[in-house]
Amino acid sequence: MATRTSTTGILSEGKTSEREEIIELLKKAYWMEIETVMSYISNSINPDGVRAQEIIESLQEDVQEELGHAQQFASRIKELYGVVPGSLEFSAEQSYLQPPEQQTDIVHVIKGVIEAETGAIEHYNRIIEVTDGVDFVTQDMVIEILRDEEGHRRLFEGYLREYEAEGLA
């Protein structure tokens, strides 16, 4: 009984090396989202003070969005015949989103979020370039996620501007 395999597109046998490259990029994206979920949970709970409330609410919403991104990256890894990695393969990188010394230091949190979003934006632009003409489905998915990250960064740039205008950042 012959198994029906795709002869065109990214799932075809001839595209194995392209798939492997894309899967590696998707795994990195998956870990970035997972670490962002962790960092945004802590930074949506730790901050103190009246001015922290907007940031707290904003990051609480983002936790759910970033978790959704992680799930999308994981699904796409599987669709490309990859395996979603286990937790032992995780290694943390977001030194800039560790809790500040003072929990009223909102500028630290805002700058950390901007750095995390910028990292995601750079990596997702790379995936969009690599998948161009090769894997339109991954490309389409990542374009949509990229828009979310650009929105997140823009929002936090706005917060930072307010602190800069007051000479606090």
Counting contacts by CB under 5 A, is residue 135 touching Fe ion?
A: no
Counting contacts by CB under 5 A, is residue 152 touching Fe ion?
A: yes
DSSP 101: S
- Closest separation in Å from C-beta 3 to Fe ion: 36
CA separation for the pair 112, 97 (Å, rounded):
5
Mark residues 58-97: x for contact with Fe ion by CB under 5 A, - for none: --------x--x----------------------------
CB 21, CB 130: distance < 8 Å: yes
∠ CA 39-156-143, rounded to 5°: 80
Provide the terminal-to-terminal Cα distance of the chain, rounded to the nearest Å. Answer: 67
Counting contacts by CB under 5 A, is residue 108 touching Fe ion?
A: no
- Closest separation in Å from C-beta 33 to Fe ion: 5
Region from 39-47, 86-94, 101-109, 147-155 binding Fe ion, contact rule CB under 5 A? 147-155
CB 33, CB 123: distance < 8 Å: no
Looking at 25, 35, 135, 149, which residue binds Fe ion (CB under 5 A)? 149
∠ CA 89-101-32, rounded to 5°: 25
The tokens describing 59, both together, are 């990051």
By CB under 5 A, what part of segment 4-33 binds Fe ion?
33
- Closest separation in Å from C-beta 8 to Fe ion: 31
∠ CA 56-125-58, rounded to 5°: 10
- Closest separation in Å from C-beta 169 to Fe ion: 20
Region from 20-28, 78-86, 103-111, 144-152 binding Fe ion, contact rule CB under 5 A? 144-152
Interface residue list for Fe ion (CB under 5 A): 33, 66, 69, 149, 152
